[in-house]
Structure 1
Amino acid sequence: MEFERERLFEEVWSMPMTTLAKKYGISDNGLRKICIALAIPLPQRGHWARVAAGKSVPSPQLKPHTGANQYTFYRAESAPVKSPNDDHWLAERLAFEEDPANKIVVADELLNPDKIVVGASKVLRELLALIGRSKKYEDARFEREKLPWTGVHHEYFGDNSWSNYLSRGGIIELPHDALPTRVSIESVDRALRLWDAIIKAAKNRGIKVNLVERRLRLTIREESVDLRMSEQVKPVVGKGALFPDCAFPPEDHKKKLATGALRIFICHMGEQKFEDKEGVVLEDQINILFRAIYKSIWSGRLRTLARIEDQRVKQLEDEAANQRKLEAAAREAVIADNKRRIDDLIVEADNWHRANRVRAYVSYLKDESSKIDISQDMQRWLQWAEEVVEILDPSRSRLK
């Protein structure tokens, strides 16, 4: 949008700034900045009130200035603002989850599980088998060490899976490429059934579900939240009584022990926790979990739109600043060219005066030589001098 200085001056003094700003579709503060950039005087406070009261208020004259006489205002054709349907989208989904008819039910048995749950179940079985083998090796080693020394060395082929399992308080942690789950052996089946209900409900609601490193990611409207599940542990003090099946029970100090209470975390700009509570188990909170997921998606969308808008405004400001630099450079180039032409004119005028002085001198010599006899050399010199005068006189080439 182009603003011409004289025309804008006339408009500024013909109507209030707020009215004129609405005409151009910009803020009155933005219009004020344009007027300042073009050195346009603005009406004082109360000017239009005095005009409305019928008082005669003189308008100032637009004084000449050395700056720009035009201002280019850049405005985006379509700004990515928050859609009016965003709030409606959230309200619809919250109402859907609050409707008892849409209650998410966690099955008592894991029937026809989702493929993600199938993969996690397979990994869990492998981990349980590994822990079982490790415990078997530990027990065998313990039994051998109770026997008298026979001089025969028995090589130990076990690993640390069982001891690691005990040190975590009886918690199994799935690897990073499976469902993000840390639960005890007793809670494995329940955890898988909870995951299966969540994943199926998400897909039925049009939410994209996929695994990322140590997270289950739910994506909708190009926004994502991550979920993870863990079992709450509590610190205890004990030895063999805590782990009666352990060949080498932990020493007497604080240890962690699984409690059976499960927790699900929504990871998005921090974490929200949903857990088993007295009288309310996680199975009865899945719809509440989805309501929180939708709110996180909605708030994330608003942050994304705000970030896009900030980037858009910054880009426009940068483009406008660059354009102003180009315009300023062009004005400076015009000023520099004009100064050079003036300097050239002064030099040209000086050369003209010098040529006229030489011409007058040569003319004087010719007049004087006509009164006396002069040599041929003098005649040739006078002829040469007249030619030099024509060369020195810049007006000859200027008038061609």
Structure 2
Amino acid sequence: MRISRHELYELVSKSPLSKVAPGLGISPTALAEICRNHNVPYPGSGYWTRVSLGQAVALDPLPPDTDEQPINIEPSKARVRRTVARTTDATAEPSKSAGHAADTSVVVKERPARPHPIIAGWIADHERRRREAAASRDAWRIRMAPAPLSAIDHRRHAILEALFRALEGKGAKLSETEKGLLRVTIDGENIDFQVREKNRQVRVSPQDSRSSYLSQELVGTGKLVFAIRTYLRGPHHEEWRETASNPLEGQLPKIVDRLFEGARILKAWHLEQEQDRERWRQEAAQRAEKERLAKQEQKRRERLGELARNWTTAGQIREFLAAIRSKPLSSEAELGGKTLADWMAWAEDAADALDATRGGAEGLFSIISSVKVEPGWG
């Protein structure tokens, strides 16, 4: 297949590489390499995540290239073989076993030889409780002991086994939550989910003495439901319910893709939240700084007023001393251990201490500038 750089740019700018590549008969990785080799910009996964969230996005324009020869794309033989195999499967008769997914990338085995540790733990705990109840010989404990695993239990385990293996094969980690849900961790993001049997309400017979105070009760339908319990922002599909024509096994590939897409959504959302928190922190710091400067300005003005009042007082003291000097006095007379000359000098020193203008403008505003309010004053 031969395609121009402009045509390739149009394709990759409208859809993710994972959707464009199959139409060209190559893998997304090969398509990305072709784009890099021919200087064709293409958006990454974060671009499409922002698109799904309705955020504004921008893609680099196609740069000019001196070599505008058409690009030759050769479909991978492995890709061709897989395409032929899928076509053959589609035209063949439906499989007699409903326990296998249509996409062979997620294969459901009815009874795996070595169950996943989480599932093995469930089975071991179930059998332990049954043994303990039987060994107690207590009628109430025996009656309340868990029933043997049913066909729907085994099928649920088989589906989860396949799902766990598929997720872990892509680098995800599985665990259980305290609320009894399952958790997949992808690139540091946690998504909780469950696979449960769908129930329906049925009317209780009046002759049923077990539920005489109830008019309805829930009974299993034999159909399974996969449900994501972690909130993923935006209008997204969070439940997969199986039907007779569409068993849950065949929906596992889409579920796996959805979980990885959900992790990307969460990461973009958490990044946005962190950016919002950082913006709030900066705005709070700016408000605090503005308040600090206002408080500092207020204190400096108060200090200026105080110095002005002190200057007035200093002038009054000097005038007062001048009036005293105009009167006859004996400078050698002692009062309180000081001579009158000493007392006059003391009064002059007091006036000088109150007079901030003695150091000129530089001295005055040096005093004012020393009045500071430190950060965190409030």
**d(CA) in 2 for partners of 1:233, 1:259:** 6
Q: What secondary structure, in the 3-state scheme, does the structure 1 residue paired with 2:238 have?
A: strand
Pick closer, same or farther for the CA change 1:267–1:284 going to 2, 3 Å.
same
**d(CA) in 2 for partners of 1:320, 1:396:** 41
Match of 1:275 in 2: 241
TM-score by length of 1: 0.52
Match of 1:219 in 2: 185
Match of 2:172 in 1: 207
**d(CA) in 1 for partners of 2:327, 2:44:** 90
What's the offset of the Cα at 1:162?
4.1
Q: What secondary structure, in the 3-state scheme, does the structure 2 residue paired with 1:103 have?
A: coil
What's the offset of the Cα at 1:284?
0.2
Q: What secondary structure, in the 3-state scheme, does the structure 2 residue paired with 1:258 have?
A: strand
What's the offset of the Cα at 1:288?
1.3
Q: Pick from 305, 311, 330: which aligns with 1:339?
A: 305
What's the offset of the Cα at 1:199?
0.8
**d(CA) in 1 for partners of 2:199, 2:352:** 104
**d(CA) in 2 for partners of 1:229, 1:396:** 88
Match of 2:371 in 1: none
| Larger Rg computed on CA atoms | 1
Q: Pick from 116, 119, 138: which aligns with 1:117?
A: 119
Q: Pick from 298, 309, 320: which aligns with 2:286?
A: 320
Matches within 5 A, 1:1-400: 86-87=46-47, 103-126=105-128, 157-159=138-140, 162=143, 185-213=150-178, 214-236=180-202, 254-269=216-231, 272-362=238-328, 389-393=344-348
Pick closer, same or farther for the CA change 1:256–1:128 going to 2, 3 Å.
farther
**d(CA) in 1 for partners of 2:331, 2:242:** 124
The runs of 5 or more residues in structure 2 that have no matched partner are 1-42, 52-82, 87-102, 334-338, 360-378
State the identity %.
13
Q: What secondary structure, in the 3-state scheme, does the structure 2 residue paired with 1:277 have?
A: coil
What's the offset of the Cα at 1:348?
0.8
Pick closer, same or farther for the CA change 1:236–1:393 going to 2, 3 Å.
closer
Match of 1:180 in 2: none
**d(CA) in 2 for partners of 1:297, 1:207:** 10
What's the offset of the Cα at 1:106?
0.8
What's the offset of the Cα at 1:297?
1.9
Paired residues of 1:223 and 1:300 also in contact (CA < 8 A): yes
What's the offset of the Cα at 1:253?
6.0
- Per-residue CA deviation, residues 230-282 of structure 1 (Å, 9 max, x unaligned), is 2123344577x99xxxxx98779644432211112111128922122131000
Pick closer, same or farther for the CA change 1:350–1:262 going to 2, 3 Å.
same
Paired residues of 1:358 and 1:389 also in contact (CA < 8 A): no
**d(CA) in 1 for partners of 2:346, 2:188:** 79
Pick closer, same or farther for the CA change 1:249–1:273 going to 2, 3 Å.
same
Q: What secondary structure, in the 3-state scheme, does the structure 1 residue paired with 2:162 have?
A: helix
Residue identity matched to 1:265: A
**d(CA) in 2 for partners of 1:308, 1:201:** 31
What's the offset of the Cα at 1:212?
1.7
**d(CA) in 2 for partners of 1:391, 1:355:** 11
What's the offset of the Cα at 1:191?
1.2
Residue identity matched to 1:87: Y
TM-score by length of 2: 0.55
Residue identity matched to 1:187: I
What's the offset of the Cα at 1:330?
2.5
Residue identity matched to 2:105: K
**d(CA) in 1 for partners of 2:189, 2:279:** 22
The runs of 5 or more residues in structure 1 that have no matched partner are 1-82, 92-98, 138-155, 166-170, 173-183, 243-247, 366-377
Q: CA RMSD in A?
A: 4.2
Q: What secondary structure, in the 3-state scheme, does the structure 2 residue paired with 1:361 have?
A: coil
Paired residues of 2:183 and 2:191 also in contact (CA < 8 A): yes
What's the offset of the Cα at 1:311?
1.5
Higher relative contact order, structure no. (Cα contacts within 8 Å, ≥ 6 residues apart): 1
